[in-house]
Structure 1
Amino acid sequence: MPEPMRPTDFTATGEARPERVARPRDAATLLLWRQGASGLEVLMGVRSVKHRFMPNRLVFPGGRVDREDRSAPAASELHPQTRRALEHRAAPRLARAIAIAAVRELHEETGLLLGTLEAGRLHAELAPLRYLCRALTPAMSPVRFNARFLMAPAETATGTFGGSGELEHLAYYPVAETPPHDLAPITARVLAEFRDLMALPEPERETRPLVWYQGRDTRRLERMG
């Protein structure tokens, strides 16, 4: 007869706690944005129902940092403000790898290129990237990520939609409108964070405190110093 679960085996939301907490993997996500007819638009796509993590959800292009990202070449290096933001919670080599991963995932999942291909190898343009926020997947999730959300203007990328097929319904979606596909709670939070940031005068965006999300929707400010 199986041992009955104790009250402590459940989270505050009633979900069963995992027997072993998964270690978060470093991940990178890129919000490619433009000004459309109805205002700000962001490139997104729907993850296949076959995916273990957030299936059938509307998401930004992104994924985990690979070992090869740590030594990958770049066509340009990070803007100082972006580099400082990424290095707040990552060693310099990892911080750069996170940015490389964001550009790589954009190319793999959408076909769009932020950089150049030389002998089939991506040389990422890191200079256009700006930091938005980071998010840590809840402890009860079997797959966890420490994801950094970066952003770049759409005109800095070239190419046409294609990619691996991992993302379906690729399009620029208006930020101010209700999307036609389901959003994960954290994706909705990041979209709101992006909308609020872009509403600020450009000089104020550079001095805004660093934001991170703990779990699904707990907004916190990074401890500096």
Structure 2
Amino acid sequence: MSDQTPIRDAATVIVLRDAQTVPRVLMGQRGKTAAFMPSKFVFPGGAVDRADADIPLARPAAPEDAARLADGTAHPSALITSAVRELWEETGLLLGRADARAATLTPPMGWARYLATGHLPDGAALNYVFRAITPPGRPRRFDARFFLVDAAGLSSDPDDFSGAEDELSHLQWVPLAEARSFDMPFITEVVLAELSARIRGEAAPGVPFFDNSGPVSQFRRL
């Protein structure tokens, strides 16, 4: 019998710092009672909410990223706004650009605090770098798009996590060379390897995609 668990669209944010010296990535630990990946160290991220599609972008994504993101059920801009919202909720870090339109919007659920800052999500600040669908047999399954963000593009102090909600604990900047010593999901290890190759200028063209939507796992590049 095939796995009937619904696959939800999701967005994950890899925030990279000091890429040219001692690269570090932002990670946190999920709670031990979490239904999905309990106690694992992960990047900030989560499922796309319906309201995410109602938030305009301050700047659009790069055309090649928008085209690749269109290969799915979620609208590309909704994936981007979801990534920005999840980063804001889980870390308190603000990614966006000041935009007068923020004050004119009626905040949908989950967006009131963010819009109150006067910012809108900046699609140009996110680089689409990875996609993975959770394998069958898991309690929850996601079609996750991973976005790379340079910490220098944040609109808040990268060391200030005071606005974070409680979904992730032990938020910290992890040196890339040490990250795999943490207890993390297999797919996170794969993403870190891809990121390391990208920093060295050795990554293959395209966006890696671990596709577990069917009965046979497939790997390809978008």
TM norm structure 1:
0.79
User: What is the match of residue 97 of structure 1?
Assistant: 78
Shift of 1:219: 6.5
Q: 2:7 aligned with 1:24, yes or no?
A: yes
Larger Rg: 1
Shift of 1:61: 0.4
Match of 1:79 among 44, 62, 68: 62
After superposition, residues 205-220 of structure 1 pair within 5 angstroms as 208-215=205-212, 220=219
**Structure 1 gap segments, 5+ residues each:** 1-16
Cα gap change, 1:63/1:144 in structure 2, threshold over 3 Å: closer, same or farther? same
After superposition, residues 142-153 of structure 1 pair within 5 angstroms as 142-153=139-150
Check the 8 A contact 2:35/2:139 in 1, yes or no: no
Helix, strand or coil for the counterpart of 2:125? coil
Structure whose residues are more often strand by fraction: 1
User: What is the match of residue 161 of structure 1?
Assistant: 161
User: What is the match of residue 18 of structure 2?
Assistant: 35
Check the 8 A contact 1:173/1:179 in 2, yes or no: no
Check the 8 A contact 2:3/2:136 in 1, yes or no: no
d(CA) in 1 for partners of 2:94, 2:37: 25
- Number of aligned residues: 198
Cα root mean square deviation, aligned: 2.4
Letter in structure 1 aligned against 2:173? Y
The percent of aligned pairs where both chains have the same amino acid is: 36
Helix, strand or coil for the counterpart of 1:149? strand
d(CA) in 2 for partners of 1:152, 1:221: 23
d(CA) in 1 for partners of 2:201, 2:80: 24
User: What is the match of residue 108 of structure 2?
Assistant: none
Q: Which has the larger displacement, 32-41 or 42-51? A: 32-41
Match of 2:49 among 66, 91, 95: 66
Q: Which has the larger displacement, 76-85 or 106-115? A: 76-85
Helix, strand or coil for the counterpart of 1:43? strand
TM norm structure 2:
0.80
User: What is the match of residue 6 of structure 1?
Assistant: none
Shift of 1:186: 0.8
* 1:159-200 per-position Cα deviation (integer Å, ceiling 9, x unaligned): 321311211111111111245531111111111111112211
User: What is the match of residue 112 of structure 1?
Assistant: 93
Structure 1 stretches of 4+ moved >4 Å: none
Letter in structure 2 aligned against 1:182? D
Helix, strand or coil for the counterpart of 2:18? strand
Check the 8 A contact 1:53/1:143 in 2, yes or no: yes
Letter in structure 2 aligned against 1:39? V
Helix, strand or coil for the counterpart of 1:169? strand
